[in-house]
Structure 1
């Protein structure tokens, strides 16, 4: 099964800095925006796999998401990523605890966060990662030795919920 029309990852941040001046107000608009539109396929600028889910972890629980052959897509078919080209993870605003991402104890998917890196997503926080359109390598996944993305609940008091979407290629 392939993506029929590709996929898009987009993010933007903007704001305006103002300062009172003698004869008016100075304004400096700040904008950073990126958008990646991937065609259908496996080469540079293309993707053929997508997986998304809303997941809940019990207090102090962890899970290792196996990026190579265990996740099931919307139709119940196994998804095997060889390369990750887009990743979005969002912690639910109603969480009390943080959602921790990265640093699986065995076979960690280390091309994004290295083998020990951890992102902390506070309640309501999100992270989005996209590769460049000319990047054929992207974030490589190696089945059985470098394919586990760990997600953890930071504390033992309550459960946490998070949404995740992964876009990538099978080759």
Structure 2
């Protein structure tokens, strides 16, 4: 199945200051986007996984990036390279969603083996590889393919959305 995909990250801000005779403005707009054609080389992707998931209080899960996740049509997804990832914690969460640091076979090319990112309620994490990058974020089946997602505390469940775009080779 052909896949055409893109990941984009944007930031907009406008700083203003009242001056003697006018108001000064410093507008800022930064947009970065990576669009991927269908395939497995540089600037290409052929696999996508997306889901809304819920973790019980104090719960964790290891998402196996090499052969266990299912795409929208129920086919197993085996990533060899991650081209982009977006994870968003639900705004209605009470606890945080913690990403990274699987105890074994950690997918370490994004956060290293023990690094984590804490997503407070309503927060999002986005990462996009450049289209000229053929390596991107490698996945090594059996030894470097688990992305840990954890609920930071007891008491309540957390919900998060995840989208992963990548290539099978």
Give the alignment's TM-score, normalised by structure 1: 0.97
Query: Which of these residues, 111, 116, 119, is aligned with residue 118 of structure 1?
Result: 116
For structure 1, which runs of at least 5 residues remain unmatched after alignment?
A: none
For the residues of structure 2 that align with 1:105 and 1:133, how far apart are their CA atoms?
A: 31
The secondary structure found in structure 2 opposite 1:96 is: coil
In the alignment, structure 1 residue 128 sits paired with structure 2 residue 157: no
Residue 51 (structure 1) aligns with: 49
Residue 8 of structure 2 corresponds to: 10
CA distance in 1, matches of 2:2, 2:17: 51
Q: Helix, strand or coil: the match of 2:41?
A: coil
Match runs of 1:11-160 below 5 Å: 11-160=9-158
Q: 1:2 offset after TM fit, Å?
A: 3.8
**Segments of 4+ in structure 1 off by > 3 A?**
none
> Unpaired segments of 5 or more residues in structure 2?
none
- Number of aligned positions between the proteins: 169
String of CA shifts for 1:74-107, please: whole Å, max 9, x gaps: 1111100000001000000100000000000000
CA RMSD, Structure 1 to Structure 2 (Å): 0.7
Counterparts of 1:166 and 1:160 in 2: how far apart (Å)?
19
